[in-house]
Amino acid sequence: ATVDQFVALGLCPEYITIDIAHGHADSVKNMIECLKAKLPAAFVIAGNVGTPEAVIDLENWGADATKVGIGPGKVCITKLKTGFGTGGWQLSALKWCARVATKPIIADGGIREHGDIAKSIRFGATMVMIGSMLAGHEESPGQTVEVDGRLFKEYYGSASDFNKGEYKHVEGKRILEPIKGRLSETLTEMEQDIQSSISYAGG
């Protein structure tokens, strides 16, 4: 459905996410302004960015939350292919961006272990986005593949040729994640680890 169709039907999504690799762009500014004009009640999340200047601009343009992280994900190869990205210094990007933010910051990418969630929150993230750490579970999408008697699930980036269907502007890859069982078990362990992180920090 288009924005105009939502308006015509009197509908308004609670949340809308504008998700492009380089979120500090005129195209994002124009889209935020369009959404805020036509669907003012919607909570608009915009990104992705990696600099304080970008956060300031996105907030001034009308974004209600900003996603920080360019290419730190496990299946993202943007930094290798283009030389740009926050892979390797994602926490620093979070810290710099959070210092100027007046609205929520979402850490997107680079979460490999449960402790990375705690560190992201400590450095200013309001919440985190997780991909590879949740891949491989019974409930996760992706084809199940058997290799040498072991079961894996496919996991790939949205900018991979596997997802695009063609080798053009490829900035993602496909990997196999070992089957990890049920998601509920991982989420319980994740919650317990974050609780421990808070206790170590004196909370």
Q: Which residues are catalytic?
A: 76
CA distances from 111 to 24, 88, 178 (A): 23, 12, 17
For the chain, give me the number of helices (H) and strands (E)? 8, 8
Residue 128: strand pairing partners: 107
Triad 25, 30, 35: Cα angle to 5°: 125
Kindly list the distances between the CA atom of residue 196 and the CA atoms of 127, 133, 141, 169, in Å, as whole numbers in the listed order.
18, 19, 30, 42
